[in-house]
Amino acid sequence: MRCIVSGRVQGVFFRASARQRAVGLGLTGSAKNLPDGRVEVIACGDRHELAKLRRWLAQGSPMAVVDDVECESLEMEAPDQFTTI
């Protein structure tokens, strides 16, 4: 799945928190800051765990203010780990 998260999501440990949450759910993928202030999260794994991550993304890290989360299905080979870029 690929999600684009908007709001105050850069500079508030959002990517690191997303990585921690994803790893805890057994997911692989990545989280990276986009030039426009949003964060892109790509996650691969069990669909139930992906749904849990999607719900978490709507709340975000403690200092984040999430305005919107747009997710789509993504067909790709799953990476070996979850990284922040």
Q: What positions carry a catalytic annotation?
A: 15, 33
What's the start-to-end Cα distance of the chain, in Å?
17
CA distances from 41 to 5, 57, 64 (A): 8, 9, 15
